[in-house]
Amino acid sequence: MFAAGIGAATWLAYTWQRHVKSTRPGGLRSDHLAWLLSHKKTLRWIAVLLIPTALAPLIQTAATAEATMSTALLLVFGLGAAGLLTLLYAGLPGIRGVQLALRRMPRFKLLWIGLTWSIITALWPALLGAGNASFERGTLVLIAAERALVIMALTLPFDLRDRNWDPASMKTLPQLWGTKGTRITAVAMLLAAAGASTVASAGNLAFAIGPLIMVPAVACAHERRSPWYFAMLDAALIADAALVMAWA
C-alpha cells in the first residue's frame, strides 16, 4: 500500500507539472499539449480517484508510533522539502509562475529530481521502518544515493530528448555534454547505483540487478527515439521493484 501510494502521488505530481506547463505559451510540445487538452476531463477524474491512495503513505506514517522524535523530525523536514520541490519544480500556473520554476535554475534540474526521489522513495520508507530494522547512517546514505543515481540516470535520456526544447539558460547536462557525454554519465550513474545497493544490502546482488538491466537502455539514448523507448525507461522502475521482490 505504501508503494502504491507513492506511485499514485508520483502520477499526480507529474500530471500537475504538465498542467502548469500547459498554461504558458510554448510550455509543452504541440503534440503533448494536444494530448493533454483532449484528455483533460479524464485526467481530472483519475486524479480525484487517486488522491485517497496517494494519502495512504502519510496516514501510515502518522499511525506508526514506533518512530523516535529525531526520526519524526527528519521525516517532517524531509517530506516538507520534497513536497516543496515537487510543487515548485515547474513553477506555478501562468506566465508569471515560471519565475518560481526550480527546474529552470541553471544546472540544478537533475539535482532536484534526484533529491526528491531519494527522500520519498528511499529515506522515507527506510526511516518509517526503523522500528523494525536498524539502519546505520552510512547505509541510509547509500540507500538514498542509489535511488538518486537511478532516477537521474533514467532522466538523462528525457533531458537529451528535450535539449533543444529546454531554454539554453537551463544548462542541462545534455545541453553541456551532448549525446555521448550524456550516455556515459547515465551508464556511470547506474553502475555506481548497483555498487551502492550491493554494499547497502551487505552483498545481496539482487538489489543490483535492476540498475544493471537499465544500462543498455540508457547507453543507446538519443533525442530522436520513439515514445515507446521513453515508456520503456519508465517501466524499468517497475521492473526493478519486481526483480527485487522476486530474487531478494
The answer as to whether 36 is a domain residue is no
The answer as to whether 12 is a domain residue is no
The answer as to whether 55 is a domain residue is no
What are the pLDDT digits (tens) for 99-156?
888 888 888 889 999 999 999 988 888 877 655 455 677 888 899 999 999 999 999 9
The answer as to whether 119 is a domain residue is yes
Write down the mean pLDDT value for the chain: 88
Question: Which residue type does 4 have?
Answer: A
Cell numbers standing for residue 186: 547515465
What are the pLDDT digits (tens) for 186-225?
999 999 999 999 998 888 888 899 999 999 999 999 988 9
Q: What is residue 97's predicted lDDT score, i.e. its pLDDT? A: 86
Segments forming the whole domain that contains residue 228: 64-247
The answer as to whether 3 is a domain residue is no
The answer as to whether 28 is a domain residue is no
Contact 220, 195 (CB under 8 A): no
Model confidence band, residue 68 (pLDDT cutoffs 50, 70, 90) = low
Residue with cell string 487538452: 37
Task: Give the pLDDT mean for 36-52.
Answer: 94
Report how many domains make up the chain.
1
